[in-house]
Amino acid sequence: MNGAKALVDTLSQAGIELCFSNPGTSEMHILEALDTSDLRCVLCLAEGVASGAADGYGRMAEKPAVTLLHLGPGFTNAMANLHNARRAHTPIINIVGDHPNYHQQYDVPLSSDIAGSASVVSQWVRRCRQVDQLAADTVAAIEAACHTPSQIASLIVPADVSWGQTQHVAPVVPALCRPASMPDQQVVEQVVEQVVEQAAHCLQSSQPDEPVALLLGGDVTEAQIRCASAIANHAGAALYCDTFPSRIARGQGCGRIERMPYLPEMAADLLKNIKHIVLVGAQPPVSFFAYPHLDSWLLPDGCSIHCLSTPQQDAGAALAALAEHLSVDIAEAAVYDAAPPQLASGELNPSTLSQSIGALLVEDTIVVDEGITGGAEIFLTTANSPRHDWIIQGGGAIGWGLSAAVGAALACPERKVLCLEGDGSGLYSNQALWTMARENLDITIVIFANRNYAILQFEYLHVGAQEMGACAESQMSIGNPDIDYAGLAEAMGVRASKATTMEEFNQQFGEAMSQCGPWLIEAIY
């Protein structure tokens, strides 16, 4: 067999199921090998779509997908969404084709430092130099991606390694991907008794003049929230999650939890009286950006930090150990149980859109959130909606939402995906619409069409800039001409409609959520 087949067979034997592909000449033998493999290969028209889709898939499937990328320029096109995935600890394996080893000396036009680029967004990078080593290097890449916390692994495969002949196929243990929970003996090692005792003492000491908060981060499961909510109720503590959790369970029946505000003034005000904070898979809260005359550090002076678990540890096991130490009954958890909001009517704006989306959200939806300013209120209005999962772009590199929706839909084909997308950020990866249509993915997209980079207009004033002249204003407006998102979607093969009133939106959104297949709604306000 050739090296490409050894690579693909190794991925398949390890339980890898999906490849997001944007190939070129150097990857042709890998495509040939995929022809005879059970890996599903999904074509993406831009590399940023492939990497964003791999992020959405990894967050929901809890195991890595593969991206197949062409040389250094192809990889660099994928880097923004790989940055977002790295911040979310998403497992991804990048297979990057390169010129043959013997061709490197000629410095041909597409030559570049792929390893240097990959090291910026990958925790593991390796260049395979010999065909007999490729299967073993592939196993190493899988193991690196399935590390705890999950990582991005980038394997560079020169074309002569792909087409070279080999008999070396590494033995692969099935299900190398990380388990849903760690065995008990590993839990004992990772949840240190002393740490639990310190956190318990802190919570037991919670008084009106010594308020305590728990802060959850990363992949925040329903079980974690229920356990943390019961602990918080038992101790009289506040319970928060990160502003940008990689995934969080929400809706009726889930434990009540408040998201840390994005605005540093609001977050600092929320935390101003906290004397102790217990971190569960989270970092101490800091401002997303730096602002003149505002502190980047959001905890008040004198606040003690207690780390119950790091991102490398099992947050669920840590919370369970803490609950047991405190003799907490999980039934004490405060849960969301009120009715969803009522449908809004009349003027279409972010508030009324948020209300109707909360009213019409269907059970088990996966919400992919890159709504930016347009979708800011929806997290609040969906708290009492039917049970759903929420994933959000937390790395700050826009152009993630449409791509991540592709991956989430492929990870969970039995579930509806709702993509909340700003009209500015959606343009960075609009090619994802074509993949949605080609694969007939069950995705409803709401475009918040305000014809502006509204977040930049807000930040312009927030950093203390005094006047917004013609130049500055023109750089934050995406009108003149207005972008016809519905027309763009239809050109890509996606059903689309426009709404300018809430009555129009309610009818379109309700229909889209009740049927299968991709549908884009351009909500214009």
Element (H, E) at 40: strand 40-43
- Residues paired with 249 in a beta bridge: 389
Fill in the DSSP letter of residue 283: P
pLDDT of residue 198: 86
CA 288 – CA 196 distance, rounded (Å): 30
Could you tell me the sign of the dihedral formed by the alpha carbons of 362, 363, 364, 369, in that order? positive
pLDDT of residue 191: 56
Instruction: Locate 322 and state its tokens.
Output: 């803490």
pLDDT of residue 285: 97
- Report domain extents, the chain: 3-163, 185-332, 350-524
* In CATH, 350-524 is 3.40.50.970: yes
Report residues of the chain scoring pLDDT below 70. Answer: 170-192, 206
Instruction: Locate 200 and state its tokens.
Output: 């318990």
pLDDT of residue 188: 44
One fold for 3-163 and 185-332:
yes
Q: Is the peptide bond before 292 cis (omega within 30 degrees of 0)?
A: no
If you write DSSP's letter for every residue of 146-205 in order, what string do you get? TSSS--EEEEEEEHHHHHSB--------S--SPPSS--HHHHHHHS-HHHHHHHHHHHHT
Q: Is 55 helix (H, G, I), strand (E, B) or coil?
A: helix
Q: Residue 501: which region, alpha, beta or left (left: phi > 0; alpha: psi -120 to 50)? A: beta
**Average of per-residue pLDDT values in the chain:** 93
Pick the closest to residue 78 from 100, 101, 104, 97 (CA basis). Answer: 97
Q: Which CATH class is domain 3-163?
A: alpha beta
Pick the closest to residue 96 from 61, 59, 136, 124 (CA basis). Answer: 124
pLDDT of residue 467: 86
pTM (two decimals):
0.95
Q: Going by C-beta distance under 8 Å and a sequence separation of 6 or more, which residues neighbour residue 94?
A: 51, 66, 67, 69, 75, 78, 82, 118, 122, 152, 153, 154, 155
CB–CB of 26/114 below 8 Å? no
CA 255 – CA 207 distance, rounded (Å): 23
CB–CB of 34/8 below 8 Å? yes
Q: Which CATH class is domain 185-332?
A: alpha beta
Instruction: Locate 330 and state its tokens.
Output: 């999980």
Instruction: Locate 353 and state its tokens.
Output: 């859109």
pLDDT of residue 206: 67
Q: What distances in angstroms separate CA 67 from CA 27, 74, 155, one per listed residue?
A: 12, 11, 10
pLDDT of residue 406: 99
